[in-house]
Structure 1
Amino acid sequence: MSAAPVLAPPTGPRPGAAPPRTLTRPRPGGTAAAAVMLTLVALGAWSVIDLGIDLPTVLGSVGNAVAFVQRMLPLDFPPAAELAAMIGQTLAIVLLSTLLAIGLSVPLSLAAARATTRGRLSRGTARTLIVLARAIPDLVLAIVFLRLFGLGPVAGILAMGLHSVGMIGKLYADAIEELDDAPRRAVEALGGTRRQQIWTAIPLALLPQIIATGLHRFDINLRTSVLLGYVGVGGIGLAIADALRALDYQRGMALAVVVLALCIVVELTSGAIRAAILPRTDRRAAETGWADRLLARSTGTPSGPAAPSITPPWTVDRLRRLLSGAMIVLLALASVRAVEIDAGTLLGGILEIPSTLLLFLPPGFGGSASLVFADLLVTVQIALAATLLGALLAVPIGILAARTVVAHRAVHTSARLLIVIIRGIPELILAILFVVITGLGAVAGTLALALGAVGLLSKLIADSLEETDVRVQEAVRTVGASGPQVFLAATLRQAAPAVVAHVMYLLDTNIRAATLLGVVGAGGVGFLLLNAARINQFEVVTAIVLLMLLVVLAVEALALWLRRAVR
């Protein structure tokens, strides 16, 4: 029998940790926030019951699961050359969409941040564009672009790229506003223009956020590309869709395993990439190594303390960033060649944008308003039920994965590995599996999102627990508190606001995901959305999108209020 996890001893304050909080300080709005959270839990429990999700239902599907496994084995992988072409096209689509999003987000974030834009109108316009990009589902954007540019990678690149601006642009703008303004003021004191102040002080300081967010979005877009394959975008997603429509589970699940492997590889290598291309921040960065001295002699730049200058000196870090940028450019050019973008088709589609957008206006229900609202309610129920079930699974796993809570290395390492594996499985693949096992409907969508939530929420909870200030834990431990008491009274209490924010973020994510999973028959309004697009009822598509926008904005407003109330 394995040893039980034990609480880790104090390791000292974490860098950047908040000062110790007085545990008895009352929080304004705490009672109302608790009431709202209890209401959401009750709604989640009601949704679980109303959707018919119970233990007998799950156990009754075991036979279907066994039969499905028998039908999918042995896995039928395509020939190596064909598989390599699929992987190459998928990665090319994902890379180009991510680079497009970053390229659009940087100027938008500069326009949206108070530190770089003085005009309220410019900031408001930029913020509005960012919100709209996030609000419109990438599936809807893909439907529009498929009508403009036809079947193929272009629609997927544009859809994922524009939708990604909603997340990347917001994070970049927030990061710019949180930057230290001293470097910009120093450039201003040296006589630099406004453009020089922004260009010299902002990009290098923002580089960690650009890289980290870009890698995270690349991972999200890789999963999304599988979903967009169902509407005609190329890559592995299209091959999976074709195989499953033909009930060829051996080929479809073999390709799903490939997607899982790709997602895990991206997850595991993103940290290494960040460490390789980010500038050094430790004390060794201030020292001058042999490479810096050699570069200084070759460029005629003094290797000692740099004289005040607007133009940054050539260093090994700067050379590394330049080479990394050149590599990204080469990969982008190779990706453009791999997806075979036709300039004529692209230009023709751009010219048809006005006439195509008019097809989506004015919004209407086409005589199916009652059906739309009924499926919209099911979508919200799926999100609530999946968030509740996912949180019940994710909280204990997140606690076991926190290194500052569980001292046993094998325990938190195993928990982290489990999180990585679950995060590597796209929700669409889970939805397909549960549709086959439990049948069409909301049960499949709920179970898929609940299991997928473990990968997201567990990681966020573990990170939040590790970021708590151990000085508070030490203070509680010195008065004789036991390990569980220290965890409940100090660690968990500090992390509670972050945990609440993560759960609300999960609810917001599940509402969007529940809409999209309806494409494969996993319940909710997504099937109506896709069917309306297929029969050219574009006004119904617009109406459904507007309804989903109202729901998402309501959840975001509630989440913002809760975060402020529980701080």
Structure 2
Amino acid sequence: MNTSLAERPSGTPPVQRKPPRPDLLHLVMVGAVIATLVSAWAIDFAPTTLLNGLDEVAALLERMVPPRLDDPGRIGVLAIETLLMAVLGTVLAAIASVPLAFMAARNTTPHPAVYAVARAVITFCRAMPDLLFAVLFVRALGIGVLPGILALALHSIGMLGKLFADAIEQTDPGPREAVRSTGVGYFREMLNAVVPQVIPSWIGTFVYRIDINLRMSVVLGFVGAGGIGFALQDALRGLIYPRALGIVLVILVIIAAMELVAIGVRRMLLSPTQSDPRRDRIARIMFSGSIIALTIAAFIALRINPWSLVTWVGPSVEVFARMIPPNFGALGGALFDAAAQTVAIGVVSTAIGVVLSIPVGILAARNITPHVWVYWLARGWILLVRAVPELILAVVFVAALGLGPIAGTCALAIGSVGFLAKLVADAVEEIDPGPLEAVHAVGGGWWKTLFSAVIPQAMPAMVGSSLYLFDVNVRTSTILGIVGAGGIGYLLFESIRTLNFDVAGAIVIVIFVIVYAIERLSGWIRSRLV
């Protein structure tokens, strides 16, 4: 996957983009429309279906009001547990990703074979959904926070390893040549010449990943991997909807607070002051100290034996080995029907998400929004939607609309608004102000400015981000079946629950092939358009 705006943590310089090729862009748009119509037909999704289900959704929301917390102390403990899981999982992933990144960067890898293996590991970790890792680790290690932490860590390596390696490949070779001329070895050369150049980028990526992992850790409790998601799942299973809404509101507060903290940290660490380099150094020392303190607190509060970070390998390998050889014949055509349904859910939800997200994203851009109140309303809506993980939305829609792909499609479509609208807003805020001023100078109004100066400049970023959203939605749709929202996830969960690991092995391979194929396809299209 190419590094895109969607993968670029805020705080890094904007990317200069070339205009998209009109002929290929039109071809992609026509293909997207055809794929959406075919996918909607395949899963029996129609606007009337959704409109008819709005009454059920409204009735479910009424049953959730007023929200309540029956055991605030326990919920508070689980909330802290969720935050510490996210921090510890990200720290472990960063520790593993640093050496992996040096092996996966073309300009620092010791051998082409090492490069190929390192890139394969990164790709595998990125392609496998975190909840899939969690399901397997729970089966291998039992219910608890350790499977959740390991799942977050392994999945995070897919992002951190790739972006760390990309940062290394973009370093200036001059300092390396100067250090090498002194006769030092490979490790001293990397430490003295490469690491200082990549630290700012690595910090931004690390902070961004903590934000992502906090959202992920919320839903790991659905499969017994610790965190506040376990309490939410318990409330939903018991049909105690006011308690479920109370927990969801706690989750919203946690994620919103974490996002604000992340924004502040990125601004403090990634906006150096030439006049006061001492301040920058102190800020980074404080950040490092805080991460170390939180990591130690995580080991203590979560009761994680450091030795368990080594001993997990044996039981996990034993479970994973039981998936080989995979049994593709047990499910027959149902396996590939479920796989096709997963892709269809991803296609339809992405199409709906794009249609809903672009207007919201434009209104949430500070340089183009028609009024400051519109800006804050749009930004608030984006923050609210982003704070609710798609799996929780899927649970709500399953309860309101029933089992099946319609619930999964609705959940992903709404989740897409929070994901894509933010990227669109950020892209619009980074456009060149010159064309906007030119339109204003000739008396052009807001709509004229939008269509003449804003959309043409932001189109490459919108296309790239939309393709990346499709990639993300297909990954997410592979696990929505765990809560009955359609797709291949239900078959996977059932095969593991019934100890049919050879069948689970076949499903895992199919999931990997789907996600990897979609990733390569969307990456290829982005490379031609963006």
TM superposition score normalised by structure 1: 0.85
Query: 1:503: which partner in 2?
Result: 466
Structure 1, residues 214-234: CA drift from partner, whole Å, max 9, x if none?
Answer: 222222222222322121111
Specify the SS of the correspondent of 2:478. helix
- The answer for the alignment partner of 2:383 in structure 1 is 420
Equivalent residue runs for 1:151-300 within 5 Å: 151-188=143-180, 192-278=184-270, 280-285=271-276
2:68–2:242 Cα contact (<8 Å) kept: yes
Q: What amino acid maps onto 2:491 in structure 1? A: L
Q: Comparing 167-176 with 75-84, which one deviates more in the overlay? A: 75-84
Contact 1:431 1:445 in 2 (8 A): yes
* Offset, 1:50: 4.1
What is the CA distance between 1:250 and its match in structure 2? Answer: 2.2
State the distance in 2 between where 1:239 and 1:274 align. Answer: 32
Gaps of 5+ in 1: 1-13, 287-314
Give, in angstroms, the shift of residue 486 of structure 1.
4.5
Task: From the CA coordinates, give the structure whose radius of gyration is larger.
Answer: 1
Please, which runs of 5 or more residues in structure 2 have no aligned partner?
1-11
Offset at residue 159 of structure 1 (A): 1.0
- In the TM superposition, what is the alpha-carbon distance from 1:162 to its structure 2 partner? 0.6
**1:60 counterpart = 2:90:** no
| 8 A Cα contact 1:33 1:562, kept in partner | no
SS in 1 for 2:275: helix
Structure 1's 17 and 520: CA in aligned 2 closer, same or farther, altered over 3 A? closer
453-462 vs 228-237, which deviates more? 228-237
What's the offset of the Cα at 1:357?
Answer: 2.4
Q: Specify the alignment match of 2:9 in structure 1.
A: none
The answer to whether residue 487 in structure 2 is matched with residue 524 in structure 1 is yes
User: Distance between the aligned counterparts of 2:63 and 2:468, measured in 1?
Assistant: 37
> Is 1:438 paired with 2:401?
yes
* Match runs of 1:531-550 below 5 Å: 531-550=494-513
Paired AA for residue 159 in structure 2 = M
8 Å contact kept, 1:18–1:469: no
CA change 1:436–1:17 in 2 (3 A) is closer
Paired with 1:481 and 1:410, the residues of 2 have a C-alpha distance of 22
Deviations 1:321-368 (A, max 9, x none): 233322211211111111112467666543334432220101113521
Q: Paired residue for 1:488?
A: 451
Instruction: Check conservation: 2:299, 2:306, Cα contact below 8 A.
Output: no
Residue 6 (structure 1) aligns with: none
The alpha-carbon distance between structure 1 residues 132 and 18, as it changes in their structure 2 partners (threshold 3 A), is closer
The match for 1:294 is none
- CA distance in structure 2 between the partners assigned to 1:344 and 1:505 by the alignment: 38
- Give, in whole Å, the separation in 1 of the partners of 2:15 and 2:145: 44
- Matching of residues 116-135 of structure 1 within 5 Å: 116-135=108-127
SS at match of 2:335: helix
User: d(CA) in 1 for partners of 2:13 and 2:483?
Assistant: 46
Find the aligned partners of 2:100 and 2:436 in 1 and give their Cα distance. Answer: 42
Asked if 2 retains the 8 angstrom alpha-carbon contact of 1:17 and 1:467, the reply is no
Aligned counterpart, 1:39: 31
Matched position secondary structure for 1:405 = coil
Q: Residues 349 and 187 (structure 1 numbering): CA distance in 2 closer, same or farther, change over 3 Å?
A: closer
Say yes or no: does 1:92 pair with 2:84: yes
Partners of 2:15 and 2:88 in 1: CA distance: 37
1:464 to 427, 450, 467: 427
Q: Distance in 1 between matches of 2:407 and 2:414?
A: 11
Provide the C-alpha distance between the structure 2 equivalents of 1:403 and 1:219, rounded to a whole number of angstroms. 23
> Quick one: which amino acid aligns to residue 373 of structure 1?
F
Q: Would the alpha carbon gap of residues 18 and 233 (structure 1) be closer, same or farther in structure 2, given more than 3 Å must change?
A: closer
Query: Alpha-carbon deviation of 1:492?
Result: 1.9
Could you tell me the percent identity over the aligned residues? 38
* Cα distance change of structure 1 residues 448 and 491 upon mapping to structure 2, 3 Å threshold: same
| 2:528 match | 565
Q: CA deviation at 1:158?
A: 0.6
CA contact (8 A) 1:465 1:495 kept: yes
Q: Supply the distance in 2 between the matched residues of 1:285 and 1:537 (Cα, whole angstroms).
A: 61
Conserved? CA contact 1:139–1:228, under 8 Å: yes
Task: Give the AA of the match of 2:502.
Answer: E
- Alignment match of 2:286 (pick from 316, 320, 323): 323
Aligned to 2:98, which of 94, 103, 106? 106
How far apart, CA to CA, are the structure 1 residues paired with 2:308 and 2:199? 35
> Over residues 297-343 of structure 1, what are the superposed CA-to-partner deviations in whole Å (9 max), with x where a residue is unaligned?
xxxxxxxxxxxxxxxxxx44334323332221121111111111246
Aligned to 1:552: 515
2:6 maps to which residue?
Answer: none
Structure 2 counterpart of 1:81, one-letter code: G
Task: Please state how far the C-alpha of 1:532 moved relative to its aligned partner.
Answer: 0.6
Q: CA deviation at 1:82?
A: 1.6
- Pairs within 5 Å for 1:393-432: 393-406=356-369, 408-432=371-395
1:72 to 47, 64, 82: 64
The alpha-carbon deviation at position 63 of structure 1 amounts to 3.5
The correspondence of residues 300-339 of structure 1 with structure 2, limited to 5 A, is 315-339=278-302
CA contact (8 A) 1:372 1:544 kept: yes
Q: Output the TM-score relative to the length of structure 2.
A: 0.91
Name the SS for the 1:155 alignment partner: helix
How many residue pairs align between the two structures? 519
Residue in structure 2 matched with residue 447 of structure 1 by the alignment: 410
CA RMSD of aligned residues (A): 2.6
CA contact (8 A) 1:149 1:345 kept: no
Question: Deviation of residue 193 (structure 1)?
Answer: 4.2
- 1:490 shift after superposition: 3.8
